Amino acid sequence: MKLQTLNNIRFENIIKTDNSFSKHFHNTYTVGLTHDGIFKSINQNSAFVSYKNSTRIINPGEVHSGDSKSWKYTNFYPTLELMSEIYEQMYFEKKVPEFSSHIINDIVLYSFLSKFFISVYSNANKMQIETNLIEALSYLISNYTTKIKKYEPIFSDTKIIKNSIDFIMDNIETNITLEQLAMSVDLSKYHFLRVFKNRVGLTPHQFIISQRLEKAKELISKGVTLNEIAFNVGFSDQSHFIRNFKRVYGYAPSKLKNSSNYILYK
């Protein structure tokens, strides 16, 4: 299988953290390994504990948070396109897999993913990297998929939410108000808040912060300064940006400046 959509996949490798992570979500999957320490993960309001040599899976759009203790981990964030591409090449239909197991204690899966991460971080031959990726994700999909869905962007099933998210992403760097969001979908502020939180799992403010920080990660990988990033994604200043980043991800954005910690695959 030759993959067309591996480029621009994000990786992060954190040696040790003892911090908490506030509620957020990703537009991509999260596939992560716990190498050491403990992570108590709150996923979809249920608590799970990740120990050494376990794998953590989060579907796109799932709200999660947690607390860590001497946690050493590696994550990568495969897109819907990438997962759909592998699924289609395995089963000959354009679908995306969904996983109900959040923490997976499977040493074979852990070994496949470790081999893949090592090849990425050691800048191995591209064919070897893609081979390792296919082996790891094929094993994950074939053994742990519990549901398949039509390939489509997250939250696109609800027109009100889709329109609200489109409005937010088009204006992410501005000071978006609740009134603007409610008016954009012809709802009162009260009803908009209720509909949005019920469907997304976050308040509009939490969602906006989450998306600003996701955009910030991309800019960090391109070498943009933290001060410029704060301005470009809509934070009032650099300290406000750093404070929110640490609260959500558990570490300072400066850590991602180190290529051994953060990679945007090319």
Nearest-angstrom CA–CA distance, 166 and 74: 31
Q: How confident is the model at residue 40 (pLDDT cuts 50, 70, 90)?
A: very high
Tokens 């709150």 sit at which residue?
Answer: 42
Q: What is the 3-state secondary structure (H, E, C) of 174-213?
A: CCCCHHHHHHHCCCCHHHHHHHHHHHHCCCHHHHHHHHHH
3-class SS at 104?
strand
Residues 27 and 57 in one domain: yes
Which residue, among 143, 146, 150, has the nearest Cα to 55 in the 3D structure? 143
Nearest-angstrom CA–CA distance, 190 and 182: 9
Q: Which of these three, 150, 183, 210, is where a domain ends?
A: 150
Asked, for residue 2, whether it belongs to a domain, the answer is no
pLDDT digits (tens, 9 = 90+) for 212-260: 998 998 888 888 999 999 999 999 899 999 999 999 988 888 888 777 7
Residues 77 and 43 in one domain: yes
Query: Tell me, what amino acid is at 117?
Result: F
Pair of tokens at residue 31: 């596939």
Q: Which domain holds residue 234?
A: 159-264
Residues 29 and 142 in one domain: yes
Average pLDDT over residues 188-213: 93
Nearest-angstrom CA–CA distance, 217 and 141: 27
